[in-house]
């Protein structure tokens, strides 16, 4: 009797543990003006072979003619041999689209980390999609639609299933938002209507700063960025030729905006200069580059210049090359000698890049005067 009770107790505990692993979904703006990204995240660590992943998108009919849908990037292509696209249905005042990954390979195990977002696919639309933030990831009541052609009728769900045939959809709270989208979670699960819209279109990634400084025989590299949505990792690149740089290391993206890397024994490279650049890579493979900075092996000079002249907007991007860490006062004058701005800045030994935000500037020519110790360095720039 004790064995039977113990076996039943273990089965009950195992069932509770298994059921606790559920997946929510979200939608957010993609890498282009007419694409969106669909992602999922589990409530607990989970490892199994996916057997069915499907999701439904909705676009308001007020955009006009129905836009055509296509898969721009499918990160689950190794897990499913067939992906069916259905784009004939309507529901209420929306055009409805279904992406159904229906033929699993059942050869690759997917390891999911609790509360860690996993991008499933990026979906592109051809035609006028209107306000991108209005596109929604939806669950239709019982999967049905009012109109539509083909065998897809009745299957317009958000649904995550694994090889054991177990439904891992979080039916009580199917969707979450991480881009300012509005979430509607119907506790009826498949019997109700749930949704999350793409939300505010994020700003493109911005490079706020990039510095290289010497420390004995090593080069200390630091960079700062903003708006790192979909950011995956960084490649640190170096070389003795500014046009021929090679990757010397990789830094994974995190939730912080400032990163560091140490190039050990950089002085072993031939030549008197080393050039550095950071390559930022998104989860979908797209990438951007920082500026290229130069580090002199035996530099005793000081250089001060504007990057990008004429400047765009009211942002003055300057580069400073210095043999030592120092600080100074930067003053901006117009052609009539009127002071526009003055602020203190600092920089590292090596090459530093600084982004200076100025007051609203009229178009024309300006002077920048950098006061360092008892010396003045000046340059001109245009707006």
* Tens digit of each residue's pLDDT, the chain (383 residues): 443 433 334 434 334 334 468 999 999 888 777 889 999 999 999 999 999 999 999 999 998 999 999 999 899 988 999 899 999 889 999 999 999 998 899 988 998 888 888 999 999 999 888 878 889 999 999 988 776 765 567 789 999 999 878 899 999 999 998 767 899 999 899 999 999 999 875 556 778 889 998 877 778 999 998 767 678 899 999 888 888 888 888 999 887 889 999 988 776 666 678 899 999 988 777 888 998 998 877 655 677 888 888 888 888 888 888 877 888 999 998 877 788 899 999 888 778 888 888 888 888 888 888 888 877 787 888 88
188 close to 272: Cβ distance less than 8 angstroms: no
| pLDDT given at position 320 | 87
96 close to 58: Cβ distance less than 8 angstroms: yes
Structure tokens at 359: 């007051």
| pLDDT given at position 151 | 59
161 close to 52: Cβ distance less than 8 angstroms: yes
Q: What angle do CA 152, 194, 70 make, to 5 degrees?
A: 45
Nearest to 81 by CA among 66, 67, 100: 100
176 close to 26: Cβ distance less than 8 angstroms: yes
Structure tokens at 182: 């509005």
233/203 Cα distance (integer angstroms): 18
| pLDDT given at position 43 | 92
pLDDT tens, residue by residue, 6-35: 333 443 433 433 446 899 999 988 877 788
What pTM value is reported for the model? 0.52
| pLDDT given at position 270 | 67
The full DSSP string for 48-73 is E-EEEEEEEEEEEGGGSSPPEEEEEE
Domains of the chain, each with CATH number or no CATH: 22-197 (2.60.40), 203-297 (2.60.40.2060), 299-383 (2.60.40.2550)
pLDDT tens, residue by residue, 251-306: 998 878 899 999 887 766 666 788 999 999 887 778 889 989 988 776 556 778 88
Sign of the alpha-carbon dihedral angle for 147, 153, 154, 159: negative
Please give the C-alpha separations between residue 38 and each of 48, 248, 343, 356, in angstroms, as whole numbers: 20, 33, 44, 37
Q: Which helix (H) or strand (E) holds 13?
A: helix 2-19
| pLDDT given at position 173 | 95
Backbone angles phi, psi at 62, to 5 degrees: -65, -10
């Amino acid at each position: 009797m004790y064995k039977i009770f113990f076996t039943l107790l273990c089965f009950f505990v195992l069932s509770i543990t298994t059921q606790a692993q559920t997946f929510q979904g979200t939608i957010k703006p993609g890498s282009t003006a007419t694409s969106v990204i669909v992602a999922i995240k589990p409530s607990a660590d989970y490892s199994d072979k996916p057997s069915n992943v499907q999701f439904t998108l909705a676009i308001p009919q007020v955009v006009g003619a129905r836009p055509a849908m296509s898969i721009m990037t499918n990160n689950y292509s190794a897990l499913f041999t067939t992906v069916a696209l259905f784009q004939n249905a309507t529901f209420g005042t929306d055009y409805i689209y279904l992406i159904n990954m229906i033929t699993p390979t059942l050869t690759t195990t997917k390891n999911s980390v609790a509360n860690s977002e996993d991008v499933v696919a990026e979906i592109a639309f051809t035609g006028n999609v209107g306000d991108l933030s209005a596109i929604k990831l939806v669950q239709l009541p019982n999967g049905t639609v009012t109109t539509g052609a083909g065998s897809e009728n009745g299957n317009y769900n958000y649904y995550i299933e694994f090889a054991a045939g177990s439904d891992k959809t979080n039916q009580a709270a199917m969707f979450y938002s991480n881009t300012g989208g509005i979430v509607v979670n119907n506790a009826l699960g498949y019997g109700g209507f749930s949704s999350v819209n793409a939300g505010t279109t994020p700003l493109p990634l911005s490079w706020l700063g990039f510095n290289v400084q010497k420390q004995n025989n090593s080069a200390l590299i630091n960079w700062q960025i903003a708006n790192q949505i979909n950011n995956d990792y960084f490649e640190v690149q170096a070389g003795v030729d500014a046009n021929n740089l090679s990757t010397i290391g990789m830094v994974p993206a995190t939730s912080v905006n400032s990163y560091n890397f140490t190039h050990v024994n950089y002085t072993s490279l031939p030549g008197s200069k080393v050039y550095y650049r950071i390559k930022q890579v998104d989860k979908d493979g797209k990438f951007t580059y920082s500026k290229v900075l130069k580090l002199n092996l035996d530099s005793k000079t000081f250089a001060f210049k504007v990057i990008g002249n004429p400047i765009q907007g009211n942002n003055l991007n300057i580069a400073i090359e210095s043999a030592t860490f120092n600080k100074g006062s930067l003053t901006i004058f117009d052609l009539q000698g009127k002071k526009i701005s003055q602020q203190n800045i600092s920089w590292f030994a090596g090459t530093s890049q600084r982004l200076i935000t100025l007051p609203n500037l009229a178009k024309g020519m300006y002077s920048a005067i950098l006061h360092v110790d008892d010396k003045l360095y000046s340059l001109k720039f245009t707006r």
